[in-house]
Amino acid sequence: MTRDDVDPATAAAPELVVLIGAAGAGKSTWAADRYRSSQVVSLDALRAVVADDECDQDATADAVALLLAIVDARLSRRLTTVVDATNGVPAERAELLAAAARHQVPTTAVVFGTTLQTCLDRQRQRPGPVPGRRWGRAVPDSVVRNQHQRTRASLDTLTTEGFTRVVRAS
């Protein structure tokens, strides 16, 4: 499938759209091209909210808690919501699916088939940590490889996890 397979204008509204892919796969760009900024809940942006640094991995737990609260609030209002994070393992997706089920909102998994080499190349172009910071935008190769492998493995389980629809984006 192509990037055009999910069209917010024709998609059933409301819906929960869960982006799944390695760092550098193009998730944020894809979401920005298709949805209003108010519809996209970005884990990186929420790290910035709780830690003044979108790259601060130590802030992930707090950012995830905030992400889940926002998703739940938006779905309770029956608003289309896009979750922009790697979402690489079933446990990460389970809480999102539970929120959608609570509010009887259909779910779409958008799986990014971006090649590993493209993801790695994109990471190598991102800046490292600024002075005084531990983290930068560039994600280590080993982490990207792991995320890419988890994305590929997730294709076998998404429908059994409870997604209404699975779309592959490139």
| Least confidently predicted of 31-40, 63-72, 82-91, 121-130 | 121-130
Residue 20 CA: distances (Å) to CA of 26, 127, 142: 10, 23, 18
Give the Cα separation of 12 and 123 in Å (integer).
34
Hunting for tokens 């493209």 — which residue is that?
118
Which amino acid type is present at position 65? A
Does the pLDDT value for residue 3 go beyond 80?
no
Domain ranges of the chain: 3-169
Higher pLDDT, 125 or 94: 94
Residues 6+ apart with CB under 8 A from 38: none
Q: Convert the pLDDT of each residue in 32-70 to its tens digit.
A: 999 999 999 999 999 989 988 776 778 889 999 999 999
Q: Which of 47, 38, 43, 54 is nearest to 20 (CA)?
A: 43
Whether the Cβ atoms of residue 107 and residue 42 lie closer than 8 Å to each other: no
CATH number (3.40.50.300, 3.20.20.80, 1.10.3720.10, 3.50.50.60) of 3-169 reads: 3.40.50.300
Query: Is the predicted pLDDT of residue 80 greater than 90, yes or no?
Result: yes
